[in-house]
């Protein structure tokens, strides 16, 4: 017979899942805010303790603008992002999710933020939504292996996949803008509300989708996010119309 302990452990697990704990990471919790002992320098006994380095007056957006602006190519931009320490999301993420696909491709897709699978693999759109995105691209004979470059507004996974916060978007925006400049696509495909907010300054994807606009000096097509299409299959019809519009635009027909 199963013990009471077994049942209470199972109930505790179900409760944690209910709260959003969807992965088991290690036996012991990790305090990512703690400075590891290996980097704590012992203070020389004869000298007074140094005053803490104050971050007063440091504007994360200005730091991001300077770091992004100094990047001369995509590798430099990736390195600048990896070195950027002002975004709290970095502390909770496993990996930086910079991009996937073909740098310099005619089409650059801008998603919102990495989810669990993307965080684990360090690549955008590799989970269920990404698999749908690949199918959508294949339907117009495109792929990330040959003809599309993909990135996100945020390069680190927000905890529990919560929505990006305005300050996080604001400090990542200079990197995104430089990313677009360096990748230099012919067109941008902006998927989902948060990406529209970051690049077009507007939301309301149901109204925006399918209508060509401009972002960062490039023609831009807002589209439904593939994760939304997974939840609302009826909207795939609109997504198909948008894919045909993208294809026509690339052929110079629209």
Report the interface residues with ligand URA, using CB under 6 A: 111-115, 118, 124-125, 127, 129-130, 152, 192, 227
Nearest-approach distance from CB 143 to ligand URA, in angstroms: 16
- Compute the C-alpha angle 178/183/187, nearest 5°: 105
Nearest-approach distance from CB 202 to ligand URA, in angstroms: 17
DSSP per-residue codes, 182-234: HH--SEEEEESHHHHHHHHS---HHHHTT--EEETTEEEEEE--HHHHHH-GG
E strand segments, the chain:
100-101, 107-111, 148-152, 187-191, 213-215, 218-223
Cβ proximity of 192 and 225 under 8 Å? yes
SS3 content of the chain, % helix, strand, coil (to 5): 45, 10, 45
- Closest residue to ligand URA, Cβ-based? 111
Q: Which is nearer to ligand URA, 125 or 156 (CB)?
A: 125
Nearest-approach distance from CB 97 to ligand URA, in angstroms: 6
Q: Which is nearer to ligand URA, 80 or 113 (CB)?
A: 113
Nearest-approach distance from CB 240 to ligand URA, in angstroms: 20
How far apart are alpha carbons 140 and 226 in whole angstroms?
15
Nearest-approach distance from CB 12 to ligand URA, in angstroms: 30
Q: Which is nearer to ligand URA, 74 or 133 (CB)?
A: 133
How far apart are alpha carbons 113 and 197 in whole angstroms?
13
Q: Which is nearer to ligand URA, 29 or 233 (CB)?
A: 233
Q: Which is nearer to ligand URA, 99 or 248 (CB)?
A: 99
């Amino acid at each position: 017979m199963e013990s009471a302990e077994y049942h209470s452990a199972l109930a505790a697990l179900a409760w944690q899942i209910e709260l959003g704990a969807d992965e088991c990471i290690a036996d012991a919790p990790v305090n990512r805010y703690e400075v590891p002992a290996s980097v704590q320098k012992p203070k020389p006994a004869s000298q007074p303790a140094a005053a803490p380095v104050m971050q007063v007056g440091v504007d994360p957006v200005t730091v991001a603008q300077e770091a992004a602006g100094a990047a001369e190519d995509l590798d430099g931009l990736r390195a600048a992002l990896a070195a950027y320490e002002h975004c709290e999301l970095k502390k909770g993420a496993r990996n930086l999710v910079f991009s996937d696909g073909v740098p310099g491709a005619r089409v650059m897709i801008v998603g919102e933020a990495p989810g669990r699978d993307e965080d684990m693999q360090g690549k955008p759109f590799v989970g269920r939504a990404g698999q749908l995105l690949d199918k959508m691209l294949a339907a117009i004979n495109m792929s990330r292996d040959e003809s599309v470059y993909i990135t996100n507004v945020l390069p680190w996974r927000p905890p529990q996949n919560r929505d990006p916060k305005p300050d996080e978007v604001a400090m990542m925006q200079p990197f995104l803008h430089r990313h677009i400049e360096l990748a230099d696509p012919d067109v941008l495909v902006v998927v989902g509300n948060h990406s529209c907010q970051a690049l077009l300054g507007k939301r309301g994807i149901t109204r925006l989708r399918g209508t060509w606009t401009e972002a960062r000096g490039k023609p831009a097509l807002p589209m439904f996010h593939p994760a939304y299409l997974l939840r609302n299959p009826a909207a795939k019809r609109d997504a198909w119309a948008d894919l045909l519009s993208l294809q026509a635009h690339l052929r110079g027909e629209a």
